[in-house]
Amino acid sequence: MFVNRGYELSFLNEKWRSGGAQLIVIYGKRRVGKTELAVRFAKEKPHIYFLCEKISAPHQLVKFTEAAASFFKDEFLLQGGFKDWETALKYIAKKNSKIVLILDEFPYLVETDPAIPSTFQKAWDLYLKNSPIYLVLLGSSISMMERTALHDKAPLYGRRTGQLLIQPFKFKELQKLFPKASFEERLTIYSIVGGTPLYLNKFREKNPVEVMKSEILRKGEPLYEEVEFLLREELKEPRNYFVILEALSLGKHKLSELINETGLDKGTVSRYIAILKELGITKKEIPVTEKTPEKSRKGIYRIEDNFFNFWFRFVFRNRSLLEENKIDEVASVIKQTLPELLSKNYERVASEILKETISEKKLSLKLESYGRWWDRNEEIDLVALNRSTGEILFGEVKWSNKPVGTNIYEDLKAKSQKVDWGKKQRRERFALFSKSGFTPDMIKKARETKVILFQGDGIIA
């Protein structure tokens, strides 16, 4: 089932219709759906799809020769073959055919021959830019794609005519994948595997906990070793990264906490965290009200990828039990911890729910920055603001089986007064998010004071 990616498909098709040579760079984390997007775009168009592999450069050329010979029905091409990639690209340019040429996992090609980016630059300048070629370069190594095509010093910089960074699905997009699922079921799935399409497809029409046990906790299944495999693909020495990620999954978010938990020195932890951030695995979070975030000392770290967080907290940490096939024992621990995990993720998706509600014109707010706020002794789950208009919204998120009462609202109001941002002229609004709804008194108070109430991901007042 192909869902979402409407903008990306529209963008690619618009470039196709515009005519002229196109060089499109599509990049993003592994399993995020780059290949499916490119193949779906090219499906009804003349195209060559070529998957680069970790094999020798001559062998790559042999396989590409076969693909080109098959497409152009050129038997003579097989006899000689291409001697290098410049010759191959020149051959395609001289055909003067409007075709889509997809080179998937382009970084693998670069690994086999570091001169490839410069070769492609030369071929583009001499032959391809004056042809009707539609060249698509796909890559899962974000850093490699940036070095070869996106940074201003990259060989292909200035040649690309478009680029798409493919992100995992947001929580709201799970509604399309799981239209019959409840909010809690969707949040459970999202808390386990995040927004990666390949993983999400395993949960279709199935109980989330049973899928977790059969697909993630069971040794021999792909997802059981998936995170370890992905890290070993990206990192030369993953051992220290493993201990940092395990510490993060257990709630050690400050740099000092990570140093104490891992036993690594400050420089090592900082360096590894920066690399994990580049890979889109971790994120540095700053209070949203900070004037100069880059200089703030209040930053904390967390795992951005939900599946990585789940895997390190429950699979990596319980590897000995799982190797003995004690799945039910680990699953029991997970079930006990799941409410806490869902609570944290409800806090994270609350800003997304609020943004979506505003974009649907259900709220007349103009908010630009979304995040959390904290000080030494206080924390607010959601703060959204607009520096130009002085609007600020304070939100509290509760994952509880009890309806939220007026005491939660009064506590939120009290905490909001400790936030100094724009205090003299700001216009305040308040929002409450609840798994289990609200007491009659809170609903009455909301109507009187214009407090915004969300139950699950739906606005009710």
d(CA 391, CA 426): 6
- Whether the pLDDT of residue 155 is over 90: the answer is no
Domain ranges for the chain: 6-165, 172-344, 363-459
User: What are the CA-CA distances from residue 362 to residues 39, 90, 104, 447 (Å)?
Assistant: 37, 55, 42, 16
The band of 461, judged by pLDDT with boundaries at 50, 70 and 90, is: low
- Full DSSP string of 1-40: ---S-HHHHHHHHHHHHH-S-EEEEEE-STTSSHHHHHHH
**Residue range 318-371, pLDDT digits in tens:** 999 999 999 999 999 999 999 999 999 999 999 999 999 999 989 999 999 999
pTM: 0.90
**Residue range 274-331, pLDDT digits in tens:** 999 888 899 999 999 998 888 888 999 999 999 999 999 999 999 999 999 999 999 9
What CATH architecture applies to the domain 172-344? Orthogonal Bundle (1.10)
Weakest-pLDDT range from 6-20, 139-153, 243-257, 348-362: 139-153
The band of 2, judged by pLDDT with boundaries at 50, 70 and 90, is: low
- Whether the pLDDT of residue 1 is over 60: the answer is no
Task: Give the contacts of 303 (CB within 8 A, at least 6 positions apart).
Answer: 245, 248, 249, 281, 282, 283, 309, 312
Residue 383 confidence (pLDDT): 98
3-state percent helix, strand, coil for the chain, nearest multiple of 5: 50, 15, 35
Residue range 363-459 forms a domain whose CATH class is: alpha beta
Residue 404 confidence (pLDDT): 98
Cβ–Cβ < 8 Å for 110, 147? no
Residue 172 confidence (pLDDT): 92
| Number of neighbours of residue 297 by Cβ within 10 angstroms | 7
The band of 263, judged by pLDDT with boundaries at 50, 70 and 90, is: very high
CA pseudo-torsion sign 246, 247, 251, 253 = negative
CATH of domain 6-165: 3.40.50.300
Total count of residues recorded for the chain: 461
- Whether the pLDDT of residue 216 is over 70: the answer is yes
Percent of the chain with pLDDT over 90: 82
Task: Give the contacts of 139 (CB within 8 A, at least 6 positions apart).
Answer: 25, 26, 27, 105, 106, 107, 145
Helix (H, G, I), strand (E, B) or coil at 437: coil
- Whether the pLDDT of residue 416 is over 60: the answer is yes
Q: Do domains 6-165 and 172-344 have the same CATH topology?
A: no
CA pseudo-torsion sign 352, 353, 359, 364 = negative
Q: What is the mean pLDDT of residues 35-41?
A: 95
Task: Give the contacts of 170 (CB within 8 A, at least 6 positions apart).
Answer: 195, 352
- Whether the pLDDT of residue 391 is over 80: the answer is yes
- Whether the pLDDT of residue 97 is over 70: the answer is yes
Q: What is the mean pLDDT of residues 394-419?
A: 97
Residue 403 confidence (pLDDT): 97
Q: What average pLDDT does the structure give for the chain?
A: 93
d(CA 218, CA 340): 23
> Strands, DSSP E only, in 83-157?
100-104, 134-139
**Residue range 119-148, pLDDT digits in tens:** 999 999 999 999 999 999 999 887 788 888
The band of 157, judged by pLDDT with boundaries at 50, 70 and 90, is: confident
**Residue range 222-244, pLDDT digits in tens:** 999 999 999 988 887 888 999 99
Residue 296 confidence (pLDDT): 86
> In sequence order, which ranges of 289-383 are alpha helices (DSSP H)?
306-310, 319-323, 327-359
d(CA 437, CA 100): 52
